[in-house]
Structure 1
Amino acid sequence: MNTFGANACLIDAASGLSLRGLTLEARIHAMENELHAMPAGLILLPAPWTIDTVCRYLAAFRQGRALALLDAGIEPDTLMELIARFEPAGLWQPGIDEPAPAGYRNVDHGWIRQTGAADVHPDLALLLTTSGSTGAARMVRLSRRGVLANAEAIVGALAITDAEIAPTSLPFYLGYGLSVLNSHLLAGATVVVNAYPVIGADFWACVDRYGATSFAAVSHTYELLSRLRWTPSVHPSLRTMTQSGSRMRPELIGQLVRDVGRSGGRFFLMYGQTEATARMAVLPAHRIMEKLASVGLPVPGAGLSVRVESGELTRQPDLVGEVVFRGPGVMMGYADTASDLVRGDDSRGVLHTGDIGRFDEEGYLYLEGRLKRIAKLFGQRINLDAVERIAAEAGAEGATIAVSRNDEAIVLWCEGEAEPQRLELVSRSVAERLGVNRHGVVARGIDKLPLLRNGKIDYRSLVRAAIEDQAAT
């Protein structure tokens, strides 16, 4: 099963090393030799943006070995938790200094298990986390067929050719960043592998040095760049920009569309979930100013509908319901423990997204909220129930309820808390645990949490209060 086109090229931004054709094959083959020394089972792969990490990923995909892609900076406690939960065959991290945990031993390329690892389904290619850093994350099980199908869909939706040059601008271990890599390699394009922060000068020097033609980012990154007065027209090679994640300000969208359009470039708004191997819908660049609030049309080979209260699936305009996605990129299912790794395809190509949406007369999808208590903050999906637990650990003494304020911030309503210093401490502590900007979490005191008649928390009232609080400050 081929994972990249004939002209695919990897460039190491730091050294200028370029790998294509036989040299790329030779590097992947070297990683396959490392892989052959690993026992059967799931392999944990911390994934910094390096040429060797990309080649390890490609080697495992080619050899039919299942990988769990992890943050390269994963906390030791979190790593130990994953090892205990999933009983992997090993950790693929050459040069690791830490001694292997009980049941594993150190080898040149990481840790390997001394007894049999958990069984893995032959179709399983990847485990990706569903959340950023809230701990005990559920993992999404992706098949090889699904990963390739999504890459093919994105190649078609964005008209990616082998002339494209894409810098790595999103984390490797998250679905959006992986999708950029997969789609460009499949099209035979060039990927500039770099670990520079997107808001730093080194990243943009790399874009100019290698003539990058595309740039992918989440809404928060575009907001940060806007505050730095960055404009795409400063980088004349840029022709394609994509955005996915939380909702983006219409004013900023318009600004970017106009700027990149001066040089004939395109800006695409997108909608995706890790459970669908990243991107599910694309708003065509030529319709973006007409339909700023839409997330677009389904990617090629897939379909979208909404499930209304009666249970019927429909695409009729202006009927509101849960968004349902169908396509070959849908996950096999979730994994919480080692016993889930051997499971087959539980989803059968259907994903109930938990998002609420509607269609317009032309079949364009508009999102209006979420069924479950999941927030999207700075491109991360965050479980609000887990945030409440973190707030309690951070010192919130009374009942605390977390709500999302338009995906721009998480507001913690702390019952009976009136001390500003304590509220500030809770805000900062929770933001640090989540790994987000400190302004992304705001703690507010409330005399008494509002309740519905059934005694449950009135979340809608708290969301309205969070929005009113923002307007008043």
Structure 2
Amino acid sequence: MVTAFPGLAPAWFTDLARFGQNPAVLTSNGTLTYVELASRVQQFAAMLGPGRRLVALPAANDLGSLVGYLAALTAGHPVLLAPADKPEALSNLIRAYDPDVVLGSGTGDGMPDLTERRPGSVHAFHPELALLLSTSGSTGSPKLVRLSYSNLMSNAEAIADYLHIGVGDRAATTLPLNYCYGLSVVNSHLIRGAGLVLTDLSVVDPCFWELFRQQEATSFAAVPYTFDLLERSGFVQMDLPHLRYVTQAGGRLAPEKVRSWAETGQRGGWELFVMYGATEATARMGYLPPELASEYPGTIGIPVPGGEFRIDPVDGLDDGELVYSGPNVMLGYAEKPADLALGREIDELRTGDLARQHPNGLYEIVGRRSRFVKIVGLRIDLGEVERLHTDIGITAAAAGSDDRLVVAVEGDHDPALLAKMLSGTIGLPRTAITVRSVGSLPRLENGKVDYPAINAMAGASSDRPLSGPFPAPCSADDAGPDLRRIYADALDRADVRGEDTFVSLDGDSLSYVAVSIGLERALGQLPPGWHLMTINELERRGAPRKRRAVSFLETSIVVRALAIVCVVATHVELVTLQTAHLLFAVAGYNFARFHLTGAPNSRLRRQIRSVARIAVPAMAFITVAYLLTDDYTVANVFLLNAMVGPQEVTTQWHFWFVEMLVYILVALTALLAIPWLGRLERRWPYGTALAFLAVALLSRYDIIDPGLPKPAPVFWLFVLGWALAQSRTTLQRLTVSLITLATVPGYFLNTPREITVAAGILLIAWIPALPVPALLRRLTGWLAAASLYIYLTHWLIYPALLPTSPILAIAGSLTFGIAYWALCRWLPSLTADSAKGQRLPGLVRNPRRIRKAWRP
């Protein structure tokens, strides 16, 4: 048994093997017994070494995170949990607390990655300190809750006690491990030798319920928003013979929903446990016995075993503040590394909730001390405002400041009528009330209502219903620019006519983003194939729409933007999500759409121009890099390194992506210029693409060696995107999708990478557009349009900024790449004006030209 500090960790951490062959972890890939889990935990605990160290763990719902968590606690190392999918939050916590060790989820073998930042530790720890959890979800706030081993053990025991958890139970992990509620599910089951059905699937995913049934899961945890998802997923009609109970916490569930779900559980043979808790109390403070849920749905029930409630008076209020005491109350907060040495600072938790106790002993939360605002001298209970709406069947969330009450209501309701109702009920002037009708309430990562976002709604210009979760202020730009001006500015053309299309104007993948975002901003969501529609046809779609909080951008644009951010973040080593190969599929997709349409002569012209627009800026920048550094050679300058470069991976291979893209485009331009092959492609575009794909797969499976030193073959990914663009029917898209699923796995020998590439291709195949917050629409367009330039330039930018900050290195790389893209767009038009002897007058006549180069 490996325990660096005997006596620190309770036996349920250090002696997992006592549960023998009981299933501990069940996944879609198999089952791990407690003996096997204990062996991995002990093995990794030994790797953490002697001496207590601060271990940062970005936790996901996977085996590597679970082993890392248990191993660190077993060996006596304090664990700082962070969200695995929020690299910025992790970066904030690392900067604030300087952990000695940073763990990762690993590569699927159940053992985490381990990055030692120093051999020992620079921190002093209190002997009881076991776990650090953020008080603010996924933001990476430096304010942490300090929890002891006793906190973890007592709360796990209490939860296991009132839920009657036994060795036969199996809980599905529906919540993140870094969230105190999700972690309490893990602890309370491990302490009783029960099983964990480990998954990161959502309850709306049919695969989740397939796994749930396959592994005979008996419970899952839910936050209020989960029940909305359950309603949409058809949960009530599902056959789940082993489901024993459902727990609910993470926010208040409306009483009528508590009653409805409790009655649903009675009919389905399972129980609903409504619970009340906080991170500061490790997880749970109270629970409502399921047999009372239908009769008393508005209460939080009774204290957990070992805990106590009392209500302290609050001046000026009829109800008092709920105070909790028990062995699960935290040691205190930490706001800086020195606080890790502190011991217990509090013995009871002042919850901030206003409560009352019923004669039957049940407690009810009636409001928040902090959820009162004082407007024009009136004290307004925001919780009461929400209940007023609940009473008339409307889901609402209220926020406010000292001068305004802001209410968001779900659904298509009349905001003016609701504001008038509120004014008459609570006595506020109508001018001090803002009501917004939204599609769904804005929510945080953990499912709780995002009240700051609701408060921000006060800046919207009207009470009209909104389609997104919250509105963006309107501006004069929403009047809708002339469509021809959009084409002229993006394509630098002065001869745009109503009968022109994007393709006829020689548009390509580099300008496609700018035009599409401009049109989307003017017209709303664009129809598929808009790039082949005339400007007149697009103008007939109707008047410009008002700006909305959420825009729908074409999926390939969003994928390009996300992929290039991931490329830079991976090279900075902030995350490990390799997406460069996905960009080849996107490039093939765009090649077919923009360069394989129109007459043969225009096709050839566009293809040659596309090669030049990639090769010339690349060679220019690499020439500068060659002159400034010793990392590159003349072969790099002329994009020949992939042909003559060294076998070993050196800095000379930085530009392999650009080189391979140019090679592919040159080869296809030459091949399709052959008359008979060009005619074949025009007559059978989908069949020709599949034929090229069959040939390309010969290199993917090493049947034919392309003869290049490196990299691994990528032509097949390019042609996969090409075939996808030529798919006109559901059967054709399905065929390409199946080919993707058959050929991508096993290629990289890296499961996350393969999933990322396949998922990106399938998204483009089946989802026409993806929602993007309106505030990020322009940024998304910049990133997508400049993706090639960002890839090209980031090799010189991020190394200079990385010692200062990984986030700064990423931001600097993206910004410089966008700037280089804008420069390359602007220079041709400037050169044209100069050639006509109109350089200065041209710029004076159209001062927006430079600004336009910087925005889609």
Verify same fold: TM over 0.5. yes
Higher strand share: 1
- 1:62-211 equivalences under 5 Å are 62-76=74-88, 78-93=89-104, 109-113=114-118, 116-211=121-216
CA–CA separation in structure 2 for the residues paired with 1:81 and 1:64: 24
- 1:336-355 equivalences under 5 Å are 336-348=335-347, 350-355=348-353
**What residue is the counterpart of 1:235 in the other structure?**
240
Residues 88 and 113, structure 1, Cα contact 8 Å, conserved in 2: no
Residues 402 and 413, structure 1, Cα contact 8 Å, conserved in 2: no
Q: What is the one-letter code of the residue matched to 1:359?
A: Q
CA–CA separation in structure 2 for the residues paired with 1:409 and 1:44: 27
Report the Cα offset of residue 412 of structure 1.
2.3
Change (3 A) 1:53 1:79: closer
Q: What is the one-letter code of the residue matched to 2:258?
A: I
Report the Cα offset of residue 439 of structure 1.
13
1:9 aligned to 2:23? yes
Report the Cα offset of residue 427 of structure 1.
5.5
**What residue is the counterpart of 1:51 in the other structure?**
63
Residues 131 and 137, structure 1, Cα contact 8 Å, conserved in 2: no
Q: What is the one-letter code of the residue matched to 2:339?
A: D
Pairing partner for 1:246 from 234, 246, 251: 251
SS in 1 for 2:228: helix
Change (3 A) 1:207 1:127: same
Change (3 A) 1:364 1:405: farther
Report the Cα offset of residue 162 of structure 1.
1.3
Residues 244 and 271, structure 1, Cα contact 8 Å, conserved in 2: yes
- Unaligned residue ranges in structure 1 (runs of 5+): 97-106, 312-317, 377-382, 386-400, 430-437, 441-473
**What residue is the counterpart of 2:326 in the other structure?**
327
Change (3 A) 1:373 1:26: same
Change (3 A) 1:352 1:384: farther
Superposition misfits of 4+ residues, deviation over 6 angstroms: 401-407
Report the Cα offset of residue 347 of structure 1.
1.2
Report the Cα offset of residue 58 of structure 1.
1.4
**What residue is the counterpart of 1:444 in the other structure?**
none
Count of equivalent residues: 395
Which structure carries more relative contact order (alpha carbon 8 Å, separation 6+)? Answer: 1
Q: What is the one-letter code of the residue matched to 2:320?
A: G
Change (3 A) 1:270 1:402: farther
Q: Percent identity?
A: 34
Report the Cα offset of residue 193 of structure 1.
1.2
**What residue is the counterpart of 1:35 in the other structure?**
48
**What residue is the counterpart of 1:361 in the other structure?**
359
1:20 aligned to 2:34? yes
Pairing partner for 2:473 from 416, 423, 433: 423
1:221 aligned to 2:220? no
SS in 2 for 1:92: strand
Residues 126 and 340, structure 2, Cα contact 8 Å, conserved in 1: yes
Change (3 A) 1:302 1:120: same
Q: What is the one-letter code of the residue matched to 2:91?
A: M
Change (3 A) 1:225 1:83: same
Report the Cα offset of residue 415 of structure 1.
5.9
For each residue in 1:376-421, what CA deviation from the matched residue of structure 2 results, as whole angstroms up to 9, or x when unmatched? 9xxxxxx999xxxxxxxxxxxxxxx999999756322566652787
Report the Cα offset of residue 70 of structure 1.
1.0
SS in 2 for 1:204: helix
Report the Cα offset of residue 114 of structure 1.
6.1
Residues 64 and 122, structure 1, Cα contact 8 Å, conserved in 2: no
- 1:232-311 equivalences under 5 Å are 234-309=239-314
CA–CA separation in structure 2 for the residues paired with 1:426 and 1:186: 49
Q: What is the one-letter code of the residue matched to 2:363?
A: L
Q: What is the one-letter code of the residue matched to 2:96?
A: R
Q: What is the one-letter code of the residue matched to 2:23?
A: C
Of 4-13 and 296-305, more deviation after overlay is shown by: 4-13
For each residue in 1:220-248, what CA deviation from the matched residue of structure 2 results, as whole angstroms up to 9, or x when unmatched? 01111113332175212101111002221
Report the Cα offset of residue 24 of structure 1.
2.3
Residues 142 and 336, structure 2, Cα contact 8 Å, conserved in 1: no
Q: Normalising by structure 1, report the TM-score.
A: 0.75
**Cα RMSD (Å):** 3.6
CA–CA separation in structure 1 for the residues paired with 2:435 and 2:27: 41
Of 232-241 and 178-187, more deviation after overlay is shown by: 232-241
**What residue is the counterpart of 1:464 in the other structure?**
none
SS in 1 for 2:11: coil
Higher helix share: 2
SS in 2 for 1:234: coil
For each residue in 1:105-129, what CA deviation from the matched residue of structure 2 results, as whole angstroms up to 9, or x when unmatched? xx96224236742212121110011
SS in 1 for 2:122: coil
CA–CA separation in structure 1 for the residues paired with 2:276 and 2:230: 21
CA–CA separation in structure 2 for the residues paired with 1:27 and 1:150: 25
CA–CA separation in structure 2 for the residues paired with 1:335 and 1:232: 46
Change (3 A) 1:426 1:134: farther
Change (3 A) 1:138 1:409: closer
CA–CA separation in structure 1 for the residues paired with 2:124 and 2:260: 51
Report the Cα offset of residue 11 of structure 1.
2.4
